[in-house]
Structure 1
Amino acid sequence: MVNALVRRASVEGGVVTVLAKGDPTAGAILIVAQERGEHPRLLERGIGPDGRVALISTGPSGELQEVTDYWIRRRRSDPDLWVVEVDVAAAERFVAETILTD
């Protein structure tokens, strides 16, 4: 899924940076989504209220240092976690279209 994010972003003129590599087969993916380097927010693939796979908001948003501190704490307790920064137009839609498909 991370490779798909990188490929799609390069095609669409965005940037994806892998901030921390996790387990290639079992690691969860935490997304730092932003547009033009502003307003970072954290998203994660999970189960939505309707029981279907969804993109879930998690952790703090808006302040880069708070977002960074959050994902560093998460990595300490889950070294399999991938942390991926996605900077593209309509970042949440872009991520959902890429990682919610099976």
Structure 2
Amino acid sequence: MIEPRLASGVMISAIKRMAEAQGDFATVLKKGDAISGAILLIGQIRGANPRLFERYPSFDGRSGWQLLDFTGQNDSSVTDYWQKRRSNDPDLWVLELDVVSAARLDGLLAALN
């Protein structure tokens, strides 16, 4: 049985509202398909050390966030990556979060699984 899933636009809106409710910053860098666009999330802690996450469906029908490894890379590597992905997938959403701590970022992602 296929589980219904939340539309991408609704998920983006929920992430933004949850972040902003805690005093954090969230902005959509690129809009994708409102219904089924993939979501790429750039999470930063106080404007530094960007971590890149992508929302992936699992075999049980649920979705989760997967951390993409950019260890030792600079900020421009993250930007180059999402811009290249976006050029290949115009339905891709790119969202940037700037939060106060890694724990808060992890909490936001966990709440949205």
TM-score under structure 2 normalisation?
Answer: 0.77
2:95 is aligned to 84
Structure-2 separation of matches of 1:91 and 1:17: 14
| Structure 2 letter corresponding to 1:96 | A
Structure-1 separation of matches of 2:107 and 2:32: 23
Relative to its length, the structure with more strand (as a share) is: 1
> 1:30 aligns to what SS in structure 2?
strand
Give the unaligned 5+ runs of structure 1: none
How big is the shift at 1:96?
2.7
RMSD: 1.8
Partners of 1:60 and 1:70 within 8 A in 2: no
2:79 is aligned to 68
Structure-2 separation of matches of 1:45 and 1:96: 12
1:10 is aligned to 20
Sequence identity (%):
42
Larger radius of gyration: 2
Aligned length: 98
Structure-2 separation of matches of 1:93 and 1:12: 11
Structure-2 separation of matches of 1:70 and 1:96: 24
Give the unaligned 5+ runs of structure 2: 1-10
